[in-house]
Amino acid sequence: MDPNSQADLTALLRAWPHEPGRVNVRIIAGDDGRPKIQVRVELGILQFEMTGRPDGLRPEGHESVLDMVRERERQQRVSSSPERFVLSTDDCAALREESVQYYHRYVALFVLEDFQGVVRDTTRNLELFAFCHRYGESQQDREVLEQFRPYVIMMRTRAQASLAMRGGQTRVALAAIDTGLDELRRAFEDRGQADRFEQASEVQVLHGLRDMLVPKLPSSQRLELEERLRAAITAENYELAAILRDELRMME
Residue 126's domain is classified under what CATH number? 1.25.40
How far apart (Å, rounded) are the C-alpha atoms in residues 148 and 228? Answer: 36
Residue 3 lies in a domain: no
Residue 248's pLDDT is: 67
**Is 193 found in the same domain as 85?**
yes
Residue 137 lies in a domain: yes
Q: Mind listing the pLDDT tens digit of every residue in the chain (252 residues)? A: 555 567 898 999 999 999 988 889 999 999 999 999 999 999 999 999 999 999 999 999 999 999 999 999 999 999 877 888 999 999 999 999 999 999 999 999 999 999 999 999 999 999 999 999 999 999 999 999 999 999 999 999 999 999 999 998 988 999 999 999 999 999 999 999 999 999 999 999 999 998 888 766 665 566 666 777 777 787 777 777 777 776 666 655
Residue type, 227: E
Residue 236's pLDDT is: 73
Q: Which of 185, 171, 149, 151 is nearest to 225 (CA)?
A: 171
Residue 2's pLDDT is: 57
**Is 225 found in the same domain as 210?**
no
**Is 73 found in the same domain as 14?**
no
Residue 140 lies in a domain: yes
**Is 58 found in the same domain as 19?**
no
**Is 141 found in the same domain as 65?**
yes
**Is 154 found in the same domain as 203?**
yes
Evaluate whether 45 touches 17 at the Cβ level (below 8 Å): no
Q: Which of 228, 94, 101, 119 is nearest to 179 (CA)?
A: 119
**Is 55 found in the same domain as 40?**
no
Report how many domains make up the chain: 3
Q: Which of 5, 3, 124 is nearest to 54 (CA)?
A: 124
Residue 231's pLDDT is: 78
Cβ neighbours of 38 (radius 10 Å) = 16
Structural domain of residue 235, as residue ranges? 221-252
How far apart (Å, rounded) are the C-alpha atoms in residues 48 and 101? Answer: 8
